[in-house]
Amino acid sequence: MKSIVEQLDPIFKPKSIAVIGASNHRTKWGFRMINRPLRTGYRGAVYPVNRQGEQINHLPSYKSILDIPEAVDLAVITLPAPQIPGVMKECVDKGVKGVVLITAGFAEVGREGKILEDKVVSIARKGGIRFVGPNCMGIWSRAGMLSLSFDKAPLAGPIAFVSQSGTFGVSLSEIAGTKGYGLSKFISIGNQGDLDAADYLEYLASDEETKVLVFYIEGFKDGKRFMNLAREVVKQKPIVIYKAGRTSAGSKATQSHTASLAGSDEIFDAVCRQAGLIRVHETLHAFDVAEVLASQPLPPGRRVAILGSGGQGVVTADACASLGLEVPDLDGDTVRSLMAGLPPHAPRPNNPVDFAGSARTGLEEAAVVEKLLKCDYIDGVISNVPINPAAWSDMFGFSGLPKPLLDLTKIAVEGADYFCSLPAKYGKPVITTRFRRVDHDMVIDILKGAGIPVCDTPEEAARAMHALVQYANIRKKAQSRKAITEGRG
């Protein structure tokens, strides 16, 4: 039997695709499935299949997939549901290796639709075809440079996003992109007629481009297999999950959306803890958490130091404490060392550390962060984004200094580079919060380029640090279980 990688690589790394139901009508899926790959950099062959045999998007089309003279790795099907069994049989006869079945009208609409879906699954499995969907919005694969879900290719990155909702999943992906979060894969799994969440989990576990997995789930086809696989995957890659259907109203809605049974939320929560999944309860939090898990070292404990002006530091401390993170007092030697670099009017630095709104540079802030990271009782730091004097000169009084803008820019870059070197140097995470927004702040670009998270709120920063602590504990428990098992062996 082929491995899951051998089964799914033709879907995510196809050398050629056929779009069955291709159309020149811009409002139809048959047009989008041709247009999106052509616009977003797909390098393989694209074969439109249209019963009328008309030219589609300047490409010659074929009346049947069987008429295509070359081999086809992946078929993308957009035809109405009643036609799918016959078309799937043609794909089998053609030797197609994978299918993305966009079409709706299957198990999600009731008993008759379920019978039709089962028939399609039977044909595909007998013919050796694995397929995504039905009732889905396609995929994005960075490895295959293939976009069926987006008119503009997403920002490439280390996060694989598996979503049981198509429209919602696409929207979340686009919002995540505006925040700078990049994707290795997006998979709209729909009804999970053939491939289910556990299959995608197994495949992504060995995907070199994926460092963190994010799942939006309404219900599982094989929850036991998924959780058993997850216990092994989290030893190497974190899994973040958002599950819909937590209430009775939401659970009822999932039935008509993707034919899913949501199940008890309390049981699900307990199972997630046992399997080592990081569960979030607001959709965008999943990406905030995934980004920091992909980029920062894991903290040795839960003790956090905070650098932030005024109320920002206070709110961050509250947010950390509410999540079970510790904000320890600083020792006397560290306090005295920090005071030497703070303005006279600044409060005594006792975590949080506060510059009290004074003029400073990113170099000075990075020096404070380094002193905090040196403390053996500090496991990670949350700081404001280092000041860029070139961008903030008027607000912080730099405009009166006898330094040209070029020098201020140089200082900003040096401060940002120094700041970015600290997590790797000390093996501890550093997370930042925007102090205020300015247009085109190069410091933020430098931080993001180096994998330093830039959060919009103190609460977001605290959640990110908490996720790192959670995953560090998950890894420790997994290693302990492994050691016990090997000891018994």
Pair (287, 384) in one structural domain: no
What's the pLDDT band for 441 if we cut at 50, 70, 90?
confident
More confident site: 343 or 151: 151
Helix axes 111-126, 84-94, angle to 10 degrees: 10
Percent of the chain at pLDDT exceeding 70: 90
Given a cut of 80, is residue 406 above it in pLDDT?
no
Asked if the structure places residue 142 within a domain, the reply is: no
Q: What mean pLDDT value characterizes the chain?
A: 91
User: In angstroms, what CA-CA distances link 114 with 106, 117, 218, 261?
Assistant: 6, 5, 18, 14
65 and 160 both lie in a single domain: no
Eight-state DSSP code of residue 259? S
Q: Which tokens go with 360? A: 């400073």
CATH number at residue 108: 3.40.50.720
Is 313 inside any structural domain?
yes
Contacts of 91 (CB under 8 A, 6+ apart): 20, 65, 75, 77, 99, 124, 127, 129
Residue 101: φ, ψ to 5°: -100, 100
- 176 pLDDT exceeds 70? yes
* 257 and 325 co-located in one domain: no
User: For residue range 443-478, what is the model confidence (pLDDT) as tens digits?
Assistant: 999 999 999 999 999 999 999 999 999 999 999 998
Are residues 121 and 7 part of one domain? yes
Q: What percent of the chain has pLDDT over 90?
A: 76
- Residues 390, 465, single domain; the answer is yes
Asked if 281 and 340 sit in the same domain, the reply is no
State the residue range of the domain holding 209: 154-295
The predicted structure's pLDDT at residue 193: 97
Of 277, 295, 313, the position where a domain reaches its end is: 295
Query: Over the stretch 33-85, which tens digit does the pLDDT of each residue have?
Result: 999 999 999 999 999 999 988 899 889 999 999 999 999 999 999 999 999 99
Residues 114 and 6 in one domain: yes
Please give the Cα distance from 360 to 94 (Å, whole number). Answer: 68
Backbone phi, psi, residue 59, to 5°: -105, 140
Q: Are 405 and 398 in contact (CB under 8 A)?
A: no
pLDDT at 391 over 80: no
CATH of the domain at 310: 3.40.50.261
Q: Judge if 50 and 198 occupy the same domain.
A: no
Question: Domain boundary at 265, 295, 325, which?
Answer: 295
pLDDT, tens digit, for every residue of 108-131? 999 999 999 999 999 999 999 999
Query: What pLDDT, on the 0 to 100 scale, is given for residue 402?
Result: 45
Higher pLDDT, 258 or 77: 77
Pairing of strands 212-217, 156-163: parallel
Instruction: Please name the amino acid found at residue 36.
Output: R
Q: Which two tokens stand for residue 17?
A: 């695709």
Predicted confidence at residue 438, as pLDDT, reads: 64
pLDDT for the residue 404: 56
Question: Is 458 in contact with 433 (CB distance < 8 Å)?
Answer: yes
**Unique residue bearing structure tokens 């899926």:** 29
- Phi, psi (rounded to 5 degrees) for 170: -60, -45
pLDDT digits (tens, 9 = 90+) for 197-220: 999 999 999 999 999 999 999 989
Beta-bridged to residue 170, according to DSSP, are: none
* 429 and 465 share one domain: yes
301 shares a domain with 289: no
Q: How far is CA 255 from CA 3, 39, 214, 245, in A?
A: 32, 35, 22, 10
Task: Tell me if 371 is assigned to some domain.
Answer: yes
Query: Is 1 inside a domain boundary?
Result: yes
State pLDDT tens for residues 272-311. 999 999 999 998 899 999 999 999 999 999 999 999 888 8
Write the DSSP assignment of 297-357 as a string of letters: PPPSSSBEEEE--THHHHHHHHHHHHTT-B-PPPPHHHHHHHHTTS-TTSPP-SSSB--TT
Q: How many domains does the chain have?
A: 3
Distance in angstroms (rounded) separating the CA atoms of residues 102 and 108: 13
Q: What angle do CA 177, 181, 185 make, to 5 degrees?
A: 85
Average pLDDT over residues 236-262: 64
pLDDT band for position 255 (50/70/90)? Answer: very low
